[in-house]
Structure 1
């Protein structure tokens, strides 16, 4: 489609041509905001460059917002949680400065793991979802799952001879958030499959785990001594924990 170029358009014809151009160029945000921005530009006596910059930034900001929303939706969080909504006063054992440092996502950039350990009601799930959301907003691919749900999916994939494909899918995301690890003992097969996912991601992409079990209590999840020994061999610096 080619738009006719004419001089001396009436205001109505100009508005129609502008709207058609926005549709053709797929600029929905500019199209929706154009009238308001144009009126504001006239009132504030913006230069042509200033007006153009305002239009382009409107489109860029909205596209960035939509990408963030898509990444958050793709992560599969069960509910919305944010750091702003977290009550640090009610959870004095959680250091706000440490959490806000984690929100910068440098640990994800370095492919480091994160463990959130504490009893029920200490805010682990809230913090896991909130930090995962921060990561998605910063452009990282995130996936959230419950430990039991992940293991069940892996078992089904193994039965259907799709295990490698499933492990690879979980291996590709920048941050894998696993909640409720340690709430129940896994059988040997389930623990082995979960261990394969963790091994696939080791030193490649980050894993964030929320658990009610300390590192010493990992025997409830990983009953095989080989898995427990491998767990203990991970350097402590790779486990920034929020209790």
Structure 2
């Protein structure tokens, strides 16, 4: 065997073995880290430690990315892009505490109530992102979409499977409850989802309606009472009342057209699957 082949054979075999072991970060970084450790005079155990740490960090990043994709967020937003000053009714300290995800461990719920456009969805998305980063499975949907999924699953005889999937997720986010009135069948199916998750998993619900008006959406005082009984047994309630973000944004655009200054607005932080960048909590 020629010297050239003797030199290349170990590298080829190492690359093959690392791929088989599913250690892509070690494969990508081992040569560079070896040179760095040699220059720093670090021994082989510290070299191996550094490689393993890089692999673990990268693996956790990929897991978070997968949880974010599985959640099907319409956008990825974090709390540091939320303008708390614009919504003085919102308990900032409570929201920050919820972002630590203790309520998920306790299988408790969160309900965000407030006018349209005040940031309820932003807060729900931020809590969902925090849960993904903490290692919890998350599913995001609107109330209307969820009901449509349940009705379709019932018609296609896969309702039990969908219900099991919804019951298994650690955090279910149901956005915009109250924007669309539900049929009696749809309301009953939605109630069943909440009932199956009662004290088994956490649910975040956002609504533009106060509790006393939920009957107009669910169509039954009895069903509304039973649903609220389950949702509010272990719950943190967030109040978001104030001017709509979209209304203020429209005003600010008009102001800029007139030569006004750029306002300090909450900006959506977007997850980039190409770079793996994830907005901070």
TM-score, normalising length: structure 2:
0.78
1:204 and 2:206 correspond: no
For structure 1, which segment, 196-205 or 232-241, has the greater mean C-alpha deviation from structure 2 after superposition? 232-241
Q: Give, in angstroms, the shift of residue 24 of structure 1.
A: 3.2
Q: Deviation per CA, 1:143-196: give whole Å up to 9, x if none.
A: 100100111111112222222222111111111100000112112111111111
> Take 1:237 and 1:199, find their aligned partners in 2: how far apart are those partners?
12
Q: Give, in angstroms, the shift of residue 234 of structure 1.
A: 4.3
1:1-243 to structure 2, matched below 5 A, reads 12=8, 14-234=10-230, 236=232, 238-243=234-239
SS of residue in 1 equivalent to 2:140: strand
Does the Cα contact within 8 Å between 2:138 and 2:171 map onto a contact in 1?
Answer: yes
SS of residue in 2 equivalent to 1:240: strand
Q: Which has the higher contact order (CA 8 A, sep 6+)?
A: 2
Does the Cα contact within 8 Å between 1:30 and 1:56 map onto a contact in 2?
Answer: yes
Does the Cα contact within 8 Å between 2:198 and 2:230 map onto a contact in 1?
Answer: no
Give aligned pairs, total.
235
Q: Give, in angstroms, the shift of residue 137 of structure 1.
A: 1.5
> Take 2:185 and 2:39, find their aligned partners in 1: how far apart are those partners?
69
Does the Cα contact within 8 Å between 1:184 and 1:220 map onto a contact in 2?
Answer: no
Does the Cα contact within 8 Å between 1:107 and 1:113 map onto a contact in 2?
Answer: yes
Q: Give, in angstroms, the shift of residue 232 of structure 1.
A: 4.4
TM-score, normalising length: structure 1:
0.90
Q: Give, in angstroms, the shift of residue 14 of structure 1.
A: 4.7
SS of residue in 2 equivalent to 1:116: strand
Does the Cα contact within 8 Å between 1:186 and 1:222 map onto a contact in 2?
Answer: yes
The equivalent residue for 1:5 is none
Gaps of 5+ in 2: 240-281
For structure 1, which segment, 176-185 or 25-34, has the greater mean C-alpha deviation from structure 2 after superposition? 25-34
Gaps of 5+ in 1: 1-8
Q: Deviation per CA, 1:16-36: give whole Å up to 9, x if none.
A: 443333223221111111222
What do you get for the CA RMSD once the two structures are aligned? 1.9
